[in-house]
């Protein structure tokens, strides 16, 4: 046994134990100090117990978020101290432009201001317009990420609901089906991302199984990995694999929790299958749907592994999370990366707030009605 | 099932058309179930199938799920290749790294989440609900926002390229979801159980160890499997903090192979062998502890 191996494990292990002990001491001190100030022992114990999270929150969330905000106003490449540049990073990011096209054949670069690259080009008849930006990679990634989230979240939710409804029918061996259907959520994301790249490669199984259709209709082979216009399609198809998995399991549990009497009442009232689905299943399931909506929205905006293992062709952009990672750790633009991360954070907060806002209109909590 | 009782009552009154409708319905349901199962299984089986092929078998136009010949040697050769470009990257070392990170992070998560959830659920104190709400809000913060300054902190501490950033921060209950799940479970325990113990003179620590821990064992197991899976599969953290190939966990070894040996001509048989090896322990735990897995997800989902 090579002892040098231990040298990489042992110091970490020792620090792990030391941190655990330090935390226990802090909890004890917090408890004792509160007692001294005359706080009752129940409240003191409760506050002492949540200390690990409070300290973690202060260091790993509050401090880092503040530092990230500060860094976003600086230029910092790790070698020299951060240099305060004010709003420059944000100004560069929002240095976007729109220009009309004089003819459909005109090159975007001729229409746009210097150093601006095309993000979106729309041709209408013999004209149109083009949107460009200085940080065009960022905006292309923004486009891909937002399109991805906006398409996959509702589609994925509907698919997961379909799977859950299917499993909720009286079928034999529902346990077995459920175990099988959850499989995609268990596999490591890095393994599946690589697997998808293999399956969608030009000589992969997807094109091989599509080839009869392609030949029949005289089409050309889709180049999933090198055709920029197919990139969003590829990622959306991949994400659909996730309709099996956690979301459908959660919805299935929600379906099982709906009291049967409600369906019986609907029967007596002469409600058909659709009416039962629309007026019993959906409202009763809405809290689970809401939970899934929020978690899958936050997840979709932060896709990372697929981007790391499936490189996109030039011009397609990639996922924002990966784009920011590269900006920070490949190009060492810590300030710019922080500004980008803050924009992502604000988008997530805005979209989540929107979903929460809308929830009062469609999410139905049992027992909430009595209060109102 | 309302629809089912309906069809059954019709069946007893001997009406062939509705019985036919019932059978058609059943056929559609099972057809869809099988279709879904195929969608789940085909990529999975393709991964295993590829891992057992030779390079020549990869790019054949016909789709063969059962390789001929079957080459289990890929699982050994992939490590020889990794070891040849980066001495020290042996299977035992990489597996050991992955397990070291996973087990330490898992214990930290379970232990701290149970303490914090206990404090948030069984004690009354001012500011509790506000603080808990704040904790749930942190779920929204994308990891990448805190990663850049986080990286700088670890750099300042001289702990880059060590396992520290991936292990002991778990002691600070870094997974709000787990705290949330545990809290839900704690709240379902009747208050009388504690009151009896308090009358008997037990202190908080004793109540936690002797009464609460045995009671919350099911949810702890559920979180243990979820946490094992999460840390075993973790990619972003190790990618940021580890540089030396022999310190890599499996997820990074996979990327390392992809970026070096597979760069010019992808060697899918080896990469799929690595991917299968990485998936195997998680799958094994999943099949052994599926009840805990699915329960853990459900506690959050139904009550969320």
pLDDT at B249: 96
Model confidence over A15-58: pLDDT tens digits? 999 999 999 999 999 999 999 999 888 899 999 999 999 999 99
Residue of chain A whose Cα is closest to the Cα of B51: A195
Sign for the pseudo-dihedral over CA of A282, A284, A285, A287:
positive
Which domains are present in chain A?
Answer: 4-84 (no CATH), 96-134 (no CATH), 137-371 (1.10.3720.10)
CATH node for B78-303 = 1.10.3720.10
pLDDT of B3 higher than 70: no
pLDDT at B111: 92
**Residue A257 pLDDT grade (very low, low, confident, very high; cuts 50, 70, 90):** confident
Q: Which of B80, B9, B65 is nearest to B257 (CA)?
A: B80
- Residues of A in Cβ contact (< 8 Å) with B236: 304-305, 325
Can you tell me the mean pLDDT for A249-272? 85
Can you tell me the mean pLDDT for A363-369? 65
Taking phi first (over 0 means left), then psi (-120 to 50 degrees means alpha), and beta for anything else, what does residue A259 get? beta
Q: Which ipTM did the prediction report? A: 0.88
**Residue A2 pLDDT grade (very low, low, confident, very high; cuts 50, 70, 90):** low
Q: Lowest-confidence range among A192-201, A264-273, B128-137? A: A264-273
pLDDT at B162: 94
**Residue B67 pLDDT grade (very low, low, confident, very high; cuts 50, 70, 90):** confident
**Residue B225 pLDDT grade (very low, low, confident, very high; cuts 50, 70, 90):** confident
| DSSP E strand boundaries for chain A | 74-75, 83-84, 96-101, 117-124, 127-133
CB atoms within 10 A of CB A365: 13
Best mutation target, A51, A67, A82, A190, to test chain B (most B CBs within 10 A): A190
Kind of pairing, strands A96-101 and A127-133?
antiparallel
Q: Which of A237, A238, A235, A247 is nearest to A163 (CA)?
A: A247
pLDDT at A99: 87
pLDDT of B264 higher than 80: no
pLDDT at B15: 54
Task: Tally helices (H) and strands (E) across chain B.
Answer: 17, 0
Q: Please answer yes or no on whether A348 and B142 come within 8 Å at the CB atom.
A: yes
Can you tell me the mean pLDDT for B112-118? 94
pLDDT of B2 higher than 60: no
Give the helix ranges, DSSP H, for A169-188: 174-186
pLDDT at B151: 94
pLDDT of B45 higher than 90: yes
CB pairs under 8 A between A and B: 309
Can you tell me the mean pLDDT for B139-167? 92
Average pLDDT of every residue of chain B: 86
> Can you spell out the DSSP letters for A280-339?
IIHHHHHHHHHHHHHHHHHHHTT--HHHHHSPPPTTS---HHHHHHHHHHTS--HHHHHH
**In sequence order, what are the beta bridge partners of A122?**
A129
pLDDT of B299 higher than 70: no
pLDDT at A68: 95
Question: How many residues comprise chain B?
Answer: 304
pLDDT at A370: 43
pLDDT of A84 higher than 90: yes
Query: From the CA of A131, how many Å to the nearest CA of chain B?
Result: 27
Q: Lowest-confidence range among A333-337, B177-181, B297-301? A: B297-301
**In sequence order, what are the beta bridge partners of A75?**
A83
- Residues of B in Cβ contact (< 8 Å) with A273: 3
Q: What are phi and psi of A113, to 5 degrees?
A: -60, 160
Model confidence over A211-224: pLDDT tens digits? 888 888 888 888 99
pLDDT at A371: 41
Q: Please answer yes or no on whether B254 and A208 come within 8 Å at the CB atom.
A: no
Instruction: Calculate what percentage of chain A has a pLDDT beyond 70.
Output: 97
Q: Please answer yes or no on whether A49 and B139 come within 8 Å at the CB atom.
A: no
From A52, A67, A166, residue closest to B149, measured CB to CB: A67
Model confidence over A294-310: pLDDT tens digits? 889 999 999 999 999 99
Can you tell me the mean pLDDT for A302-321? 91
Identify the residue with better confidence: B107 or A106: B107
**Residue A341 pLDDT grade (very low, low, confident, very high; cuts 50, 70, 90):** very high
Q: How far apart are CA A216 and CA B237, in angstroms?
A: 47
pLDDT of B23 higher than 60: yes
Contacts of B128 (CB under 8 A, 6+ apart): A46, B120
- Residues of B in Cβ contact (< 8 Å) with A60: 146, 150, 169, 172, 174
Best mutation target, A22, A30, A47, A50, to test chain B (most B CBs within 10 A): A50
Q: How far apart are CA B275 and CA B253, in angstroms?
A: 10
Q: Please answer yes or no on whether B2 and A263 come within 8 Å at the CB atom.
A: yes
Q: What are phi and psi of A357, to 5 degrees?
A: -55, -45
Cα A161 to Cα A166, A285, B34, distances in angstroms = 8, 10, 17
**Residue B214 pLDDT grade (very low, low, confident, very high; cuts 50, 70, 90):** confident
B122 burial via Cβ count (<10 Å: 0-12, 13-18, 19+): buried
Identify the residue with better confidence: B60 or A195: A195
pLDDT at A271: 80
Average pLDDT of every residue of chain A: 89
Can you tell me the mean pLDDT for B18-26? 85
Can you tell me the mean pLDDT for B208-222? 86
Q: Please answer yes or no on whether A205 and B168 come within 8 Å at the CB atom.
A: no
Residue ranges of domains in chain B: 2-74, 78-303
pLDDT at A340: 95
Residue of chain A whose Cα is closest to the Cα of B177: A295
pLDDT of B216 higher than 80: yes
């Amino acid at each position: 046994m090579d002892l040098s191996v231990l040298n990489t494990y042992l110091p970490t292990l020792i620090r792990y134990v030391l941190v655990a002990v330090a935390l226990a001491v802090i909890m004890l001190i917090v408890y004792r100090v509160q007692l001294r100030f005359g706080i009752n022992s129940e409240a003191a114990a409760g506050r002492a117990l949540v200390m690990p999270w409070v300290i973690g929150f202060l260091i790993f969330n509050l401090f880092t978020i503040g530092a990230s905000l500060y860094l976003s106003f600086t230029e910092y490449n790790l070698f020299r101290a951060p240099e305060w540049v004010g709003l420059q990073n944000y100004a560069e990011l929002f240095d976007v432009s729109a220009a009309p096209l004089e003819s459909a054949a005109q090159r975007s670069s001729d229409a746009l201001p210097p150093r601006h690259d095309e993000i979106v080009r729309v041709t209408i008849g013999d004209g149109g317009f083009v949107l460009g930006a200085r940080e065009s990679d960022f905006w292309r990634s923004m486009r891909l990420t937002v399109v991805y989230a906006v398409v996959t979240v509702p589609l994925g939710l509907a698919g997961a609901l379909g799977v859950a409804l299917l499993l909720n029918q009286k079928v034999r061996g529902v346990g077995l089906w459920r175990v099988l259907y959850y499989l995609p959520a268990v596999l490591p994301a890095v393994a599946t991302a690589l697997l998808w790249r293999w399956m969608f490669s030009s000589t992969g199984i997807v094109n091989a199984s599509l080839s009869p259709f392609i030949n029949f209709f005289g089409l050309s082979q889709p180049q999933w990995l090198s055709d920029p216009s197919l990139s969003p399609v590829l990622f959306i198809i991949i994400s659909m694999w996730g309709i099996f998995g956690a979301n459908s399991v959660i919805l299935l549990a929600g379906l099982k929790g709906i009291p049967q009497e409600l369906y019986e009442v609907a029967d007596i009232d002469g409600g058909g299958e659709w009416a039962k689905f629309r007026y019993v299943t959906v409202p009763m399931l809405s809290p689970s749907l809401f939970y899934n909506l929020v978690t899958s929205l936050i997840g979709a905006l932060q896709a990372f592994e697929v981007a790391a293992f499936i490189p996109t062709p030039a011009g397609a952009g990639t996922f924002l999370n990966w784009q920011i990672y590269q900006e920070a750790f490949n190009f060492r633009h810590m300030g710019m990366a922080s500004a980008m991360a803050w924009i992502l954070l604000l988008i997530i907060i805005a979209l989540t707030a929107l979903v929460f806002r809308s929830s009062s209109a469609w999410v139905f909590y049992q027992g909430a009605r009595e209060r109102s | 099932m309302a629809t089912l009782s309906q069809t059954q009552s019709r069946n007893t009154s001997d009406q062939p058309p509705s019985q036919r409708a019932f059978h058609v319905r059943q056929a559609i349901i099972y057809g869809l179930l099988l279709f879904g199962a195929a969608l789940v299984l085909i990529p999975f089986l393709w991964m295993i199938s590829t891992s057992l092929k030779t390079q020549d078998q990869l790019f054949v136009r016909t789709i063969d799920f059962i390789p001929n010949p079957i080459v289990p040697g890929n699982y050994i050769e992939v490590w020889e290749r990794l070891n040849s470009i980066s001495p020290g990257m042996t299977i035992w070392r990489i597996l050991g790294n992955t397990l070291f990170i996973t087990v330490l992070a898992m214990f930290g998560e379970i232990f701290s989440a149970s303490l914090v959830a206990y404090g948030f659920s069984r004690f009354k104190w001012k500011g509790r609900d506000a603080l808990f709400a704040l904790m749930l809000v942190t779920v929204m913060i994308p990891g990448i926002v805190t990663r850049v300054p986080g990286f700088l902190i670890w750099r300042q501490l001289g702990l880059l390229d060590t396992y520290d950033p991936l292990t002991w921060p778990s002691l600070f209950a870094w997974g709000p979801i787990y705290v949330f799940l545990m809290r839900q479970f704690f709240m379902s325990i009747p208050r009388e159980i504690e009151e009896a113990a308090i009358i008997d003179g037990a202190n908080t620590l004793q109540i936690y160890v002797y009464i609460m821990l045995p009671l919350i064992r099911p949810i702890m197991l559920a979180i243990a499997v979820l946490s094992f899976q999460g840390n075993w599969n973790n990619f972003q953290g190790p990618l940021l903090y580890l540089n030396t190939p022999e310190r890599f966990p499996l997820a990074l070894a996979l990327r390392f192979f992809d970026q070096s040996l597979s760069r010019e001509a992808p060697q899918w048989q080896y990469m799929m062998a690595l991917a299968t090896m990485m998936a195997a322990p998680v799958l094994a735990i999943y099949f052994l502890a599926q009840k805990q897995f699915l329960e853990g997800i459900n506690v959050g989902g139904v009550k969320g």
